[in-house]
């Protein structure tokens, strides 16, 4: 969107610099506001719209969906069934297949770290990304936990606690979004990182002291999951109370 106005600004500066009669009043602002019609502003004075403007705008809107952040999110969605297939191949206990499953899981976790950052940094936030990103996050983590519990590598109560927390907090965010947005905390980010490391270690066929270490990493992930979940609930309650109080105050001012 920024490229067309820039060219329009360049063309208009040349027109102002050249000697001659002034352009009709309002022609330049109209062409500048529409962006794409600025190329013909000198000859048509903005009297008719340029067909290329609509085509260019449509192309920009269409391209905005296929940005790098959304492509990374789509990659995570595609990796979910691939991860499950690799995880269960060879009966679910073949070290080679488990290593490939770990690679797919690691790629999904790494892209999760980058897509949100890229979207915010380069203004690539789209409605698709807002919906698909949390779905992709929950899908890959849920698939891994369910596969591990189904294979007997991870107790079912761990899977239930983590998934209940993730789904519950996601629903709670939607419920209180009318009052405001609950930002991601440092504890929540640490929880996500610890969960990813712990689940990744369980996906690999580890033995010896590494198998003992992954138990403690998963224990830390469960504790962080519960503690940060309770903190988000507290924030949601405070946010809802503040929102209700502000609405009541605004209503009283309106009636007064």
- Over the chain (256 residues), the average pLDDT of each successive run of 10 is 41 41 41 40 43 41 67 90 95 93 93 77 77 85 96 96 92 83 82 94 92 96 96 91 86 81
DSSP assignment of 91-111, as one string? GGT-HHHHHHHHHHHHHHHHH
Query: Comparing C-alpha atoms, which of 130, 128, 104 is closest to residue 116?
Result: 130
Q: What's the rounded Cα separation, in Å, for the pair 216 and 220?
A: 6
Q: Residue 136 has what pLDDT?
A: 86
Length of the chain: 256
Please give the span between the terminal C-alpha atoms of the chain, in angstroms, as a whole number: 45
Residue with tokens 């690799």: 86
Q: Residue 170 has what pLDDT?
A: 83
Other beta carbons within 10 angstroms of residue 200's beta carbon come to 18
Q: Residue 64 has what pLDDT?
A: 65
- Residue 250, CB half-sphere, CA atoms under 13 Å: how many? 6
Tokens of 37: 């019609």
Q: What's the rounded Cα separation, in Å, for the pair 242 and 179?
A: 8
Q: Residue 182 has what pLDDT?
A: 78
Alpha carbon 36 to its chain centroid, in Å, reads 31
Q: Residue 175 has what pLDDT?
A: 85
């Amino acid at each position: 969107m920024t490229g067309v106005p820039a060219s329009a600004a360049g063309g208009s500066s040349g027109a102002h610099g050249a000697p001659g009669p002034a352009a009709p009043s309002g022609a330049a602002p109209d062409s500048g506001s529409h962006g794409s019609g600025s190329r013909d502003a000198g000859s048509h004075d903005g009297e008719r719209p340029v067909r290329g403007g609509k085509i260019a705008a449509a192309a920009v809107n269409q391209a905005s969906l296929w940005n790098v952040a959304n492509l990374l999110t789509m990659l995570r969605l595609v990796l979910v069934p691939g991860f499950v297939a690799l995880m269960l191949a060879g009966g679910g206990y073949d070290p080679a297949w488990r290593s490939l499953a770990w690679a797919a899981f690691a790629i999904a976790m790494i892209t999760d770290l980058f897509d949100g950052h890229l979207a915010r940094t380069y203004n690539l936030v789209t409605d698709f990304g807002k919906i698909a990103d949390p779905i992709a996050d929950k899908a890959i983590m849920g698939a891994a936990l369910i596969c591990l519990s189904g294979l007997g590598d991870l107790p079912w109560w761990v899977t239930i606690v983590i998934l209940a927390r993730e789904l519950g907090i996601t629903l709670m965010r939607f419920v209180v979004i009318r009052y405001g947005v609950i930002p991601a905390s440092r504890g929540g980010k640490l929880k996500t990182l610890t969960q990813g490391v712990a689940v990744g270690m369980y996906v690999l066929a580890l033995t010896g002291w590494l198998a003992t270490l992954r138990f403690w990493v998963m224990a830390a992930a469960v504790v962080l999951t519960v503690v940060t979940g309770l903190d988000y609930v507290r924030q949601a309650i405070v946010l809802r109370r503040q929102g209700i109080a502000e609405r009541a105050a605004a209503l009283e001012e309106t009636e007064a």
